[in-house]
Amino acid sequence: MRLRGRCCTSCVARWSRPSASCSEVEIDEFFLGGYEEGLKGGRQRGKKTLCGVAIEVRGRGSGRVRLAVLPAASGPALLAFTRATTQAGAIVHTDGLQAYRTLTQHGYDRRRRAQTAAAPGEQLLPRAHRAISNLKAWMHGTHRGVSPEHLPVYLDEYVFRHNRRRTPMASFQTLLGLGLAHEPITYRDIIDRAA
């Protein structure tokens, strides 16, 4: 946990900055957590953790991803996430959630994709949904679930791995360099950061 925390915590500030080179992203919010009895509808939270995803559109594929725990699916929270991950002036593809409507007032070219207008079987935000599915499969398959207090560190690790998936040697060199250049991160540091 010490090396993982050291690497991922050091990368957060550097890799969560808005991308100057990307002019088009997909942004969505999602819940992480297991099945709960009695919840109806996709927006009921229960004990699940709300997260946000922003992923660069690169042709039919995807570029870098950014993930964060969100306090709420409200306009101010989603605007703060968008500002932290996306350069002003970028094209931002979102779903029909009304909380995204303020993005245009803050310099983003919001392109709303409504479920009612989608063709049968078409995904509204295919890159974002692929990243979310891969994250959930990775968390379930590798870690068998993650507690909410540790979730930000695991999101950072996933972002680190995803953004370097095509250059495994570079990710190893980055990991090694960060391990040597920074002081150790303790378990208490990770817990305090998540709080």
pLDDT of residue 18: 52
- What residues contact residue 37 under an 8 Å CB cut-off, 6+ apart? none
pLDDT of residue 84: 95
- What secondary structure does DSSP assign to 69-92, as a single string? E-S-SSHHHHHHHHHHHB-TT-EE
pLDDT of residue 147: 81
pLDDT of residue 15: 44
Q: What is the pTM of this model?
A: 0.76
pLDDT of residue 14: 44
* C-alpha span between 83 and 76 (Å, rounded): 10
pLDDT of residue 141: 81
Q: Which parts of the chain sit beneath pLDDT 50? A: 1-16
- What residues contact residue 171 under an 8 Å CB cut-off, 6+ apart? 160, 161, 164
Per domain, the residue ranges of the chain are 2-34+46-115+123-194
> Do the beta carbons of residue 26 and residue 54 sit within 8 Å?
yes
pLDDT of residue 194: 64
Count CB-CB contacts under 10 A for residue 167.
11
DSSP conformation class of 36: -
As separate numbers, helices (DSSP H) first and strands (DSSP E) second, the chain gives: 6, 5
Retrieve residue 11's tokens: 């990368």
CA 144 and chain centroid, separation: 19
Q: What is the CATH number of domain 2-34+46-115+123-194?
A: 3.30.420
